[in-house]
Amino acid sequence: MKAILIIADGLGGRPTDVAGKTCLEAAHKPNLDELACRGATGLVDPIGPGIRPGSDTAHLSLLGYDPHEFYTGRGVFECLGMGMAVGPGDVCFRANFATVERTGGALKLLDRRAGRIAGGQVDLARALNGIRLVDEPGIAVEFLPSTQHRGAFILRGEGLSWRVGETDPHEVGAMVPDAHPLQWDDTAARRTATAVNEFTRKCVQVLETHPVNRTRVKEGKPQANILLLRGASRLPHLEPIQAMYGVRGAVIAGGALYRGVGLACGMERLDAPGATGGVDTDLHSKAKTALLALERLDYVFLHVKGTDNAAHDRDARAKVAFIERLDGELFGRLREGIDWKTTHLAFTGDHTTPIDFGDHTAEPVPVLFAGPDVLPDRSAGFSEREAAQGGLGRFSGRVLPMLLNYNNWNPKFGS
């Protein structure tokens, strides 16, 4: 038996998306409709009713891990997804280059993305990785840049804690705050905050004199003269899927976050050529990579991000177009390529991102299961409204465990 879970980020919508219809309702999607006819649909609250999900917490929950228990922050998943080795005591952050100016003893934020710097990040990273911290003994730093201003950062050493605040002031014109322990009597968090603050001071010294920034100044571009840190987190103690279900699988995702969540659950990482984590991603390539993986592995988790990107841009047309491309290029290919006698498929979103609002909201998301052991319901298509009448009803999270169950892989609780 084989299983494939597909999550389209921010899939859900509202009737205000496209003149009384959601983007999913407005899209022409014959393949998804056919799968819904053949299978069963329902509504899933990614975390719980009325809980507005982040993408990280929603994915943990859909994969079967309670985010209230396991979630500490987004940084660790970004680090893992970028290929960094994360140890049990490490504190991980999301990091981004920004532009600050010195004013008195403080640092004032001028550009949160350092002009979306494109070039020189690896040289800057090399300089940052040379920083030695001395205020607290035995703490090492590691920074890895990803796209543009973005990257991931790790503090390593004994006695550190993820319970520290961020150094990102979020607003241009605001001063860069010190990192603070979330509780003052938390020794490990104080030690960590001290290290973060020393790093911040030293990173500005290192970056503002760096040749890359001298060149940027000459070219009239904002300097990348600070690294802002947020999403402090640690490796969660997730029981690997293989240990629980005895099966091996892979994650296919253009976005580092999603790869990171998959890796944290014990999936292997497969890179589809041309997967970008955006609306321009190569869906043919992702479908092909998934089908190839299913020849070798038990299950695949495939993530697409375009739906959410389009909705964050409040671009209904782009969201509808991406759903239609998803239907043709991904689900069309999967419908042909999957052995439906031995494979179960699940499709859902990790949250609703309505066009009007342009950010995540807490409505439930439609979900679809298909395959030989799925009891078909009366669904005539796949949309929020159809799924609201679907035979699976409404439930919270845990779509992957429900999918793997159709393959009779789930451990028995009790006897």
Smallest separation (angstroms) from its own copies to the CB of 60 = 8
Q: Which residues in the 84-123 window bind its own copies by CB under 8 A?
A: none
Q: Using an 8 Å Cβ cutoff, are 100 and 107 in contact?
A: yes
Q: How far is the CB of 262 from its own copies (least distance, A)?
A: 16
Q: Which stretch binds its own copies (CB under 8 A): 120-128, 146-154, 206-214, 361-369?
A: 361-369
Amino acid at 183: Q
Name the segment binding its own copies (CB under 8 A); options: 81-89, 248-256, 271-279, 357-365. Answer: 357-365
Report if residue 289 touches its own copies, rule: CB under 8 A: no
Distance CA(343)–CA(345), nearest Å, equals 7
What's the number of CA atoms in the CB half-sphere (13 Å) around residue 334?
Answer: 31
Q: By CB under 8 A, name the one of 43, 79, 291, 300 that touches its own copies.
A: 43
Alpha carbon distance 269, 84 (integer Å): 13
SS (H, E, C) 214-230: HHHHHCCCCCCCEEEEE
Among 48, 266, 274, 328, binds its own copies (CB under 8 A): 48
Regarding 301 and contact with its own copies (CB under 8 A), the answer is: no
From the CB of 75, what's the least distance to its own copies, in Å? 10
Burial code (b: 16+ CB inside 10 Å, e: under 16) for 3-28 equals bbbbbbbbbbbbeebbeebbbbbbbe
CA 295 to chain centre: 26
Nearer of residues 248 and 394 to its own copies, judged by Cβ: 394
Which of residues 71 and 333 has its CB atom nearest to its own copies in the complex? 71
Question: Which residues on neighbouring strands pair with residue 299, listed in sequence order?
Answer: 3, 249
Q: Which residues ranging from 186 to 245 are in contact with its own copies (CB under 8 A)?
A: 231
Distance (Å) of CA 64 to CA 58, 75, 240, 241? 10, 20, 11, 9
- Nearest to its own copies of 133, 368 (CB atom): 368
Q: How far is the CB of 53 from its own copies (least distance, A)?
A: 6
Does the footprint of its own copies cover residue 259 (CB under 8 A)?
Answer: no
Q: What are phi and psi of 333, to 5 degrees?
A: -65, -40
CB 369 within 8 A of CB 402: yes
Stretch that binds its own copies, among 85-93, 138-146, 174-182, 351-359 (CB under 8 A): 351-359
Taking CB under 8 A as the rule, does residue 47 contact its own copies?
A: yes
35 contacts 327 by C-beta, under 8 angstroms: no
Residue 277 in contact with its own copies, rule: CB under 8 A: no
Residues 386-415 that bind its own copies (CB under 8 A): 388-402, 404-406, 408, 410-415
Nearer to its own copies, 223 or 379 (CB): 379
Region label for 165, one of left (φ > 0), alpha (ψ between -120 and 50) or beta (otherwise): beta
- What's the min distance (Å) between Cβ of 288 and its own copies? 29
Among 14, 191, 234, 325, binds its own copies (CB under 8 A): 14
Residue 329 DSSP label? I
| Distance from C-alpha of 13 to C-alpha of 41, rounded to nearest angstrom | 16
| E strand segments, 305-403 | 343-349, 365-370, 394-396
Residues 367 and 41: beta-carbon distance below 8 Å: yes
Smallest distance, its own copies to C-beta of residue 165, A: 14
Nearer to its own copies, 98 or 402 (CB): 402
Least distance (Å) between residue 382 CB and its own copies: 15
Among 40, 84, 229, 263, binds its own copies (CB under 8 A): 40
Comparison of 218 and 412: residue with beta carbon closer to its own copies: 412
Residue 378 CB burial class (10 angstroms; 0-12, 13-18, ≥19): exposed
Alpha helices in 219-315 (DSSP H): 241-245, 256-264, 283-296, 306-312
Minimum separation from the CB atom of position 35 to its own copies (A): 16
Q: Which among 368, 403, 315, 399 has a CA at the least distance from the CA of 42? A: 368
* Residues in region 52-81 near its own copies by CB under 8 A: 52-58, 64, 67, 71, 73-74
Residues that bind its own copies (CB under 8 A): 14-16, 22, 40, 42-43, 45, 47-58, 64, 67, 71, 73-74, 231, 354, 356-357, 359-364, 372-378, 384-385, 388-402, 404-406, 408, 410-415
